[in-house]
Structure 1
Amino acid sequence: MTSNNPFDSRRGVYAISVAAELSGVGVQMLRHYERVGLLTPRRTSGGTRRYSDEDLTVLARITDLISDGVNLAGVAYILALEERNRQLEAKLAQMKRQLGQ
């Protein structure tokens, strides 16, 4: 789903070269991260990658984990666990609201 909201952090606005410059990660490495499933930038109708602020946040997390010595398989696992944790926290918050806590 693509948002038309100009302030949506998921809206793909950065070309791969800009994302590489902003993140300090090379273009080829961005493509590699996409191939192994760590990043999924939006695509234009013509197939051009468009990175969002959210993608850049994930990319910063990937970079931090790699700097800490985590391999790509470990990075993928950690990112998946962190996402699952966010989902569970959101569900818990929703349940608490429903119970009036």
Structure 2
Amino acid sequence: MDDMIEAPLFAIAAAAELAGMHPQTLRQYDRIGLVSPTRTAGKSRRYSMRDIVQLREVARLGAEGISLEGIRRILELENEVSSLRGRVRELESALADELLRRPGSRVFAAGTEGDVISLRAGARVRKQNAVVVWRPLER
């Protein structure tokens, strides 16, 4: 499904119509790095559905009064969050696969002093219920 969203399908005229913008606006956004479509061998821009969604987001944020630099930063952060979420899913999947391959293997946790504690799978670290009272030194 992600491949279809990322596929560069639309020429600039079609992308501009789908985004509700003028083609020149898309060229400007490409120049300043807001939305960077892929290029064909002949250097023509090709926009994906993801690009169209980003263009619509640029229009929405601009209508709210956010500057183009602010919009660029927001999109950059949203793309980073999306990428990190994908990486977390990959790591969770790899961890689940590893736990299935080696049942009964050990799991590690961090102790209160930063030390490594080895645990059996399914075991939990004992929580300390100590109360600590802090009193500043009197001068």
Structure-2-length-normalised TM-score: 0.62
Please tell me the residue identity of whatever aligns with 1:94: E
Q: Is 1:43 aligned with 2:32?
A: no
Please tell me the residue identity of whatever aligns with 2:27: R
1:11-70 Cα shifts (integer Å, max 9, x gaps): 222111111111111111101000000111111111111111111011111111111111
Report which of the two structures shows the higher radius of gyration computed on alpha carbons. 2
> Distance between the aligned counterparts of 2:94 and 2:76, measured in 1?
27
> Distance between the aligned counterparts of 2:23 and 2:30, measured in 1?
11
Measured after TM superposition, the shift of residue 93 of structure 1 is 2.5
Quote the RMSD (CA, aligned, Å): 1.7
**Whose strand fraction is larger, Structure 1's or Structure 2's?**
2
Q: Which of 57, 65, 90 is the aligned partner of 2:53?
A: 57
**Whose helix fraction is larger, Structure 1's or Structure 2's?**
1
Measured after TM superposition, the shift of residue 97 of structure 1 is 2.8
Q: 1:17: which partner in 2?
A: 13
User: Comparing both chains, which one has the higher relative contact order based on Cα–Cα distances under 8 Å and sequence gaps of 6 or more?
Assistant: 1
> Distance between the aligned counterparts of 2:17 and 2:93, measured in 1?
42
Structure-1-length-normalised TM-score: 0.82
Q: 1:78: which partner in 2?
A: 74
Q: What SS does the aligned partner of 2:6 have? A: coil
Given the superposition, is the C-alpha separation of residues 10 and 90 from structure 1 closer, same or farther in structure 2, using an over 3 Å criterion?
closer
Q: Which of 74, 78, 87 is the aligned partner of 1:91?
A: 87
Aligned residues: 95
Unaligned runs of 5+ in 1: 1-6
